[in-house]
Copies of this chain bind each other. A is one copy, B any other.
Amino acid sequence: MTGVVEAVGSAVDDLSPGERVAVGNIIGSCRRCSACRQGRENACKTFPTLTYGGLDPHLGGTTRGGFSTHIVVDRYFTYVLPETLDPAAAAPLLAVKYARALGARVVAFTTSPAKRDAALALGADDVVLTRDADAMAAAFRSVDLMLDTTGVAVDLAPYLRVLAVDGTYALVGIPPEPLTIDPMDLVVGEKRIVGTGSGGVPVTRQMLDFSAAHGITADVEVVPPDRLGAALDRLARGDVRFRFVVDMTGL
């Protein structure tokens, strides 16, 4: 989420009311375990406090993140928003644009022919329609890194075959169901599956600076709180390009 600082605690000397800030999906961690000491708060041994739907360690109950008029966040988990980033568009940032900015050749895999042009417009070098058996066969062993941002438990087998030798399938979304994997799809070609969620504070800072430097922002639709229900209905139908951002300033 992004917002504006309203007040700071007495020990905060590098942030002032009125400044634009961002908060990721972690607002707390133990800060003492080896993961936290390395800035890998997302891997905190006792599990980090999630911004949304987490267990609030101070007040009890459930954290509500940006669905609030105000939020109290530890300075450490608050990011100064680079001036060149639009606060709405900085909230959800997109893999295709990053991969391009990092110098990769980017191939988008999608089930939907309708998304082909959109993926190319975002900067993809190529698009593979995953229901096109010939296109999938042609892509055999062509991809070094597959980023799965779907958040659903897709059948991994066809995608593992698209990976090159030593290739990595990175699970970025978190499917609610278990994954089922044929061991041979990993053993043949020595492929790997890795999971990753939010980053720790240092890489999140880097990500925001990188976004500002490369002008990477997301295509968003900004909705006011009183249209949230309609937006959630559209989200369930996949009818959004590409993220809704809720503007809570009217509340």
Known: A35-B165, A40-B165, A45-B141. A194 touches B186 (CB 8 A): yes
Are the C-beta atoms of A187 and B196 separated by less than 8 Å? yes
Assembly stoichiometry (copies): 2
Report the Cα distance A113→B18, complex, angstroms.
64
Query: A192 an interface residue at 8 Å Cβ cutoff?
Result: yes
Residues on B with C-beta less than 8 A from A34 are 165
Are the C-beta atoms of B178 and A186 separated by less than 8 Å? no
Query: Which B residue's beta carbon lies closest to that of A151?
Result: B183
Write the A163-176 contact mask toward B (1 if CB under 8 angstroms, else 0): 00100100100110
Query: A191 an interface residue at 8 Å Cβ cutoff?
Result: yes
Query: A230 an interface residue at 8 Å Cβ cutoff?
Result: no
Q: Which of B141, B179, B192 contacts A183 (CB 8 A)?
A: B179
Total residues of chain A contacting the partner, CB 8 A: 36
Known: A43-B165, A45-B141, A165-B43. A183 touches B175 (CB 8 A): yes
Report the Cα distance A178→B185, complex, angstroms.
10
Known: A35-B165, A180-B179, A180-B180. A43 touches B189 (CB 8 A): yes
Q: Which of B171, B181, B183 contacts A174 (CB 8 A)?
A: B183
Query: A57 an interface residue at 8 Å Cβ cutoff?
Result: no
Known: A186-B194, A192-B194, A195-B190. A178 touches B178 (CB 8 A): no
Report the Cα distance A43→B165, complex, angstroms.
7
Query: Which B residue's beta carbon lies closest to that of A182?
Result: B178
User: 9 tightest A-B contacts by CB?
Assistant: A186-B195, A187-B195, A192-B194, A43-B165, A43-B189, A187-B197, A179-B181, A178-B180, A192-B192
| Interchain residue pairs with CB less than 8 A apart (19) | A35-B165, A38-B165, A42-B190, A43-B165, A43-B188, A43-B189, A47-B188, A171-B187, A174-B183, A178-B183, A180-B180, A181-B181, A185-B195, A186-B194, A187-B195, A190-B195, A192-B192, A192-B194, A193-B193
